[in-house]
Structure 1
């Protein structure tokens, strides 16, 4: 196939200068273009981006995960712990691949995602193990007429587990506020926390099946298929309700609104979790009937919702970058390239010809974050902080563009 570059798509990607290179934007401040926009920044960029706090959070969550791992090892033994850990990597990989697909438009910082996973796999499991028995005992006293096998999985587990996971998502809202821009971010962070929790929980379930059956056998295989292949996204779906609610709230700002959204999302996550754990009773105890008639359609609905959210982010990117283009920071062709998947793929292929693919990735990521920051400014949220972030991003975009032009000319 003949190789084609951005110059072959003048209506979708930057114009040529030199042949194949993007047209540099005029370096004028916002409001200086042919169609002035509201001035967007005046304050100096703040020092620090929350990285130090994230490192501390990662260190604490890592210690918690080591303690949980030690507990599992002491309960299962070395061989069972290693085998079940390997099996648990299968559903974990499925979840992380799905979340990576969701996160492709505006990738979140790896440090924040690492903390989310460690929180889910370590701290949230630890909270569940420590607090679960006390909550169950309280529910037994409050609901004496209910059977223990109902109170444990249908009431206690959803309440304790979703609170434990949701706290990690809430911490990320405040610890990495500049990277928590909307509902897609919330779904990614919440899903990563849930994937970590499910990973550790699966080790416990697989280990229990292994020990009770006396070794490898049908019971372990059944549990693996049920949890690892049929329902790897169960926890992700529950906790994503919290992330979605928080992501919608941060778009409007305000701590009271964020906390209110957290509790609403938490309630939805708990109800969904209860429905999953106790739903088989609705269809005469048949898990497979429950799974195919109710859970599969719900999963399809969730995927559809994520696709619609991603498309909304693409439209938002085009709208906000268009305002910067009117002020002279981007060309119209650059806006089209940055706001379409096809344009991004073509630009990355072009930059890869002269070894600047990673530089183009940086340009795309910074421009996308700039559009989301502009959205926060337009909404009047945290103006001094967002205006400082905007100024830094405009400088970064200009510098990265210059680097790519120099590389292509060389």
Structure 2
């Protein structure tokens, strides 16, 4: 799960999130969300057991209905805190932070399954493969879906933010419930693997499109800075592509700072246009600061 986390984090190549925040979300999934999910599941299952007496039916209902409802709620809870961070500003960020929570949850849940089913080597290996490649990835995809909707709606009106959060949470629960439903029966398990495989492909496609959109944002927003003389015209295509990671196009002593500040400037401009009140003032002040810093960096490189 940690390897998956690093891959997702690094795949966000244009506006990579601070790893300490990504790690905080990962740990919430691994510890906080698990703790609350256990409590919530016990309480909800207790009330359901008052009406459903058959143990097998109760267990099946818990897997298909209780687990998706409780676990997606507890995983998503921390996203409501993360979304207020100034670094959380688009779909890509939501996918990274939501995916981190899901992977953390999957890691702990996997560990508990591995320990609890270690009496038979063959079945244990099967559980490791299924949970590592599918179940834990399902947690990643489902919570990343909620994160994507939160990122998409961050700068919308409050009513729209609530609406899209509800839609994202509902889809996350559906993905979770569908996977649990399919794999609860031997006859439908192959459909479960197919369903999750298609879901993962959609997840990868959305993530890729979102990253391409980030590249376009950088190009469009920095075009104005070229016109204003803040950024050299020759740097525009470089800053909005993977070429910027190569050495030689600018002094190596300032390359990383220049890339980071120019990228942040581009997103701050977008955020300022979509914000109101105190947030708008914050972003506008940050824009001025980054413009001055970039001018300072480039003037120093010419000296």
Structure 1 and Structure 2 fold alike (TM over 0.5) = yes
Structure 1 match to 2:286:
389
Displacement over 6 Å in runs of 4+: 142-146
- Structure 1 position 298 matched with structure 2 position 199: yes
Task: Compute the displacement of 1:327 (Å).
Answer: 1.6
- Structure 1 position 190 matched with structure 2 position 98: yes
Which residue among 190, 197, 203 is the counterpart of 1:288? 190
Task: Compute the displacement of 1:94 (Å).
Answer: 3.6
Query: What do the CA deviations read for 1:119-175 (whole angstroms, capped 9, x no partner)?
Result: 11111011011221111223344667891122111111111111111011111112x
Map of 1:231-310 to 2, 5 A cutoff? 231-250=135-154, 252-280=155-183, 285-291=187-193, 293-310=194-211
- Structure 1 position 163 matched with structure 2 position 61: no
CA RMSD of the aligned region, Å?
2.3
**Residues 165, 193 of structure 1: 8 Å contact kept:** yes
**Residues 320, 374 of structure 1: 8 Å contact kept:** yes
- Structure 1 position 208 matched with structure 2 position 116: yes
Structure 2 match to 1:105:
14
Going from structure 1 to structure 2, the CA distance change for 1:225 and 1:284 (only over 3 Å counts) comes to closer
Task: Compute the displacement of 1:254 (Å).
Answer: 3.8
Going from structure 1 to structure 2, the CA distance change for 1:229 and 1:272 (only over 3 Å counts) comes to closer
Task: Compute the displacement of 1:196 (Å).
Answer: 0.9
**Residues 72, 173 of structure 2: 8 Å contact kept:** yes
**Residues 110, 136 of structure 2: 8 Å contact kept:** no
Going from structure 1 to structure 2, the CA distance change for 1:360 and 1:144 (only over 3 Å counts) comes to farther
Going from structure 1 to structure 2, the CA distance change for 1:261 and 1:142 (only over 3 Å counts) comes to farther
Structure 2 match to 1:51:
none
Higher RCO (Cα < 8 Å, 6 or more apart):
1
Task: Compute the displacement of 1:203 (Å).
Answer: 0.8
**Residues 170, 262 of structure 1: 8 Å contact kept:** no
Going from structure 1 to structure 2, the CA distance change for 1:114 and 1:94 (only over 3 Å counts) comes to closer
Deviates more, 1:381-390 or 1:267-276: 381-390
Specify the SS of the correspondent of 2:78: helix
Map of 1:29-40 to 2, 5 A cutoff? none
Going from structure 1 to structure 2, the CA distance change for 1:181 and 1:93 (only over 3 Å counts) comes to same
In the aligned structure 2, how far is the partner of 1:337 from the partner of 1:142?
A: 64
Higher helix share: 2
Structure 2 match to 1:350:
248
Structure 2 match to 1:229:
133
Going from structure 1 to structure 2, the CA distance change for 1:393 and 1:164 (only over 3 Å counts) comes to same
Structure 2 match to 1:123:
32
- Structure 1 position 332 matched with structure 2 position 233: yes
Query: What do the CA deviations read for 1:254-305 (whole angstroms, capped 9, x no partner)?
Result: 4443333222211111111001110246x862423431x3221221121111
Task: Determine which structure has more spread, i.e. the larger CA radius of gyration.
Answer: 1
Going from structure 1 to structure 2, the CA distance change for 1:256 and 1:388 (only over 3 Å counts) comes to farther
Q: Which runs of 5+ in 2 are unaligned?
A: none
In the aligned structure 2, how far is the partner of 1:316 from the partner of 1:233?
A: 29
Map of 1:395-410 to 2, 5 A cutoff? 395-403=292-300, 405=301
Task: Compute the displacement of 1:402 (Å).
Answer: 4.2
In the aligned structure 1, how far is the partner of 2:51 from the partner of 2:12?
A: 42
